[in-house]
Amino acid sequence: MAIMRNNHVFKGHKTLLGAKYVTYGEVELPLRLDMFCLSKNGFDWGNTGSAAQQLSFSILCQLSNEAFARENVSLFTTDVVSKFNGRDWLISASEVLKWIEKHTKEDDTWQKQEEEKKEAPVNTIILKTQKTFKKPKQKNNVVKEICKELQITQKDLASILEIPEGTISSWAVKNEIPRLGKKAIEFYIQSQKNQQIIESYKSFVKLLDVS
């Protein structure tokens, strides 16, 4: 397989409220639903689910071709995408290309290994599954995560949103924020960013006056 090298990177970002974005070379990475429609709701990472496989296919297809991406999507998800942890991750095109080159050369070996797995005794497969089984990670509390990110308490958040503190406590217990609550928090975060920009501009103007 002929591979063209470049210096671009793939970047993933998950917002405080769960929205996920992936770019390649600072441009949004296409879902490729016309070729591989496994998750219409977008990408995911840190697991091997359908949305994570959709991300794997799009990354591989960006640097190889549809046939290779389709054939290796599960393996790439397990090897690479499932190990993207946290809200932000980055992987260079050169790293992905090395993975593609390695598995292009080892296609025959991979097929033999798959055949051996099919022929392996049932007890052996069960034993391997038991060894690799891991307890699922506990889901983070969205209210606590937002308060931690903004460096405020739940009482402060209630004051900012002008709602009872008990409402915030209820959100924390349910680990769920209603749609209007999310919108209000997003508006507050954006207003804080805008204020930082204004303060930076004022500081810059003062420097100009001094000079």
Helix axis angle, 66-79 relative to 50-63, nearest 10°? 130
Contact predicate 4/96, CB 8 Å: no
pLDDT at 70: 94
| Interval 92-125: pLDDT, tens | 999 999 999 998 865 555 455 556 655 555 555 4
How many other C-beta atoms are found inside a 10 Å radius of the C-beta of residue 66? 14
Unique residue bearing structure tokens 């207003």: 191
Q: b/e map of 23-35 (b: 16 or more CB within 10 Å)?
A: ebeeeebebbeee
**Residue 204 CA from chain centroid, whole number:** 36
How many other C-beta atoms are found inside a 10 Å radius of the C-beta of residue 42? 13
Q: Which residues contact 124 (CB under 8 A, 6 or more apart)?
A: none
Q: What is the largest CA-CA distance in the chain?
A: 80
Give, for all 211 residues of the chain, the pLDDT tens digit: 544 556 789 999 998 888 899 999 889 999 999 999 998 889 999 999 999 999 999 999 999 999 999 999 999 999 999 999 888 999 999 999 999 999 886 555 545 555 665 555 555 544 555 555 555 566 788 889 889 888 999 999 999 999 999 999 998 999 889 988 888 888 888 888 888 888 888 887 777 777 6
C-alpha span between 133 and 142 (Å, rounded): 27
Contact predicate 81/70, CB 8 Å: no
